[in-house]
Structure 1
Amino acid sequence: MKQSNILLIGLLMATCHSVHAKQGDLQQELKVEAVSQKADIKNNQIIFFGPVKVVQGSINIHADELRAFSTAKSPSKVMLAIGNPATFSQELDDGSTGTASAKEIRYDLASRTLTLTGEAKLDQAGNQVTGNSIRYNIKDQQLIAESTGKGQDRVITIIQPENYQDSNIKPSLPEIPVKKQDEQ
C-alpha cells in the first residue's frame, strides 16, 4: 500500500476513533471517490479533486477537494477537506449522528485538533454550535467557537432539552380538593 494512502487512512481512523465512532466503522474498508487524484509520494501528500466522497462504515465526508499530508520538518499529519461546504457525518455509538460542516475542515493528528473555518457548524442530536471558526481539541475535550466580530456575525449555540421521560416515573399531579355534595 502506498505511503500516501496509509497517511489518509491513518488520519481518517484517528478522526473517527476520537469521536466515539460506531463500533465496527474502523474495521470497514475505506473508499474514496473523486474525479481525479494527485499523489506526491516524495513530499508525503495526496490530493483528491472532486467532488470527493469518502465512506468508511457510517463515516461520510463530502468535499470539493481533500488533502492529506505531513511534512518532514514536523511529525504532524493533517487532513484538509475543502468545500462549499465540506461535510463530515458519522453515526455514533448511541445511534445519533454527529455532523460537521465548514468551508474548510482541518484535522491535525499530532495535536488531535479539529478546526472548522468559514461558516462552521457542529451538530449532534439537534445540539448545535455555529460560528466563523470552531476549534475542538479532542484529547482535552475543549471547544472554542469564534465569530468574525463584524456586523451581525455571532457564535450561536443551540442546546436541546433533555428527555426526562422515564416509564417508571409517573408525573405527579397536584391534588385538587373535591367538595362532596353534602358539604356545599
Structure 2
Amino acid sequence: MKQNNILLASLMLMTSMSAFAKVGDLQQEVKIKAVSQTADIKNNQIIFFGPVEVVQGSIKINADQLRAFSAEGENSKILVATGNPATYSQILDDGRPASASAKEIRYEMATRTLTLTGTATLDQAGSQVTGNLIRYNIIQQKLIAESTGNGDDRVITIIQPDNYQEELKNAPEDKPVKKQDSK
C-alpha cells in the first residue's frame, strides 16, 4: 500500500510541475519509461534508472536517473532528474516552446521551485539564460541565475528581438532561423 502512495506522490509531482504548461497537459496521464526502478518504502522514495523519459501531454523530461521522494519529517514532495544533461521541455499556453537542461533538475512541490544546477540553461522561444545555477519560483514568477564566480564563468542572458517569433513562423522548415551572434 505504501509503495502505491510513493508512486502516486511521484506522479502528483509531475502534474504540479506542469503548472505553467498548456492547460490540457494537466489532464493527461503521466507516463514514465525507464530501464528499471526501485522503491525504498522505508525512506518513501522511488528511483527510476535510465535512460528515463517522463511524458505528460507536451511536457517531456529526459534523464539518466529520476528520483521522487519526500523530505525527511516533511510532507513536501521533491523530484530530482539527473543526467548529462537532464532535459525538460514543454509547450506553453500561448504555443511557444520552453525548455531547460542541467546536470540536475530539482522540483520542490511545496515551494513550487524549479532549480537547475550544473551547466544550467533555460530557453523560452529563443531567449535564453545560462549559468551554473538557475532557480525559478513558479508562483512568484521570480528567476535567480548565478555563476560559480570563477574566471570567465558568468550568467549569460540572450534576448531575441520582437520579430524573432514571426521569423520562426515564416521560415521554411528546411531552413531554420539563425540565432544572432551575441559577441
Shorter-normalised TM range: 0.7 to 0.9
1:158 maps to what in 2?
158
Corresponding residue pairs, total: 164
Q: Give the secondary-structure state (helix, strand or coil) at the position aligned to 1:24.
A: helix
Q: Give the secondary-structure state (helix, strand or coil) at the position aligned to 1:93.
A: coil
Amino acid at match of 1:81: A
1:110 maps to what in 2?
110
CA-atom RMSD in angstroms: 1.8
More helix by proportion, 1 or 2?
Answer: 2
Matched, 1:5 2:39: no
Aligned mates of 1:64, 1:114 — CA distance in 2: 18
Aligned mates of 1:41, 1:11 — CA distance in 2: 17
2:179 maps to what in 1?
none
Structure number with bigger Rg: 1
Aligned mates of 1:94, 1:52 — CA distance in 2: 28
CA contact (8 A) 2:147 2:155 kept: yes
2:128 maps to what in 1?
128
Aligned mates of 1:124, 1:108 — CA distance in 2: 21
Q: Give the secondary-structure state (helix, strand or coil) at the position aligned to 1:16.
A: helix
TM-score, normalised relative to structure 2: 0.85
Amino acid at match of 2:33: E
Give a deviation string over 1:89-132, Cα, whole Å, max 9, x none. Answer: 00111111110100000001111111000000000100100000
How far the C-alpha of 1:42 sits from its partner, in A, is 2.9
Contiguous gaps of at least 5 residues in structure 2: 167-183
TM-score, normalised relative to structure 1: 0.85
Amino acid at match of 1:86: A
Aligned mates of 1:113, 1:28 — CA distance in 2: 22
Contiguous gaps of at least 5 residues in structure 1: 167-184
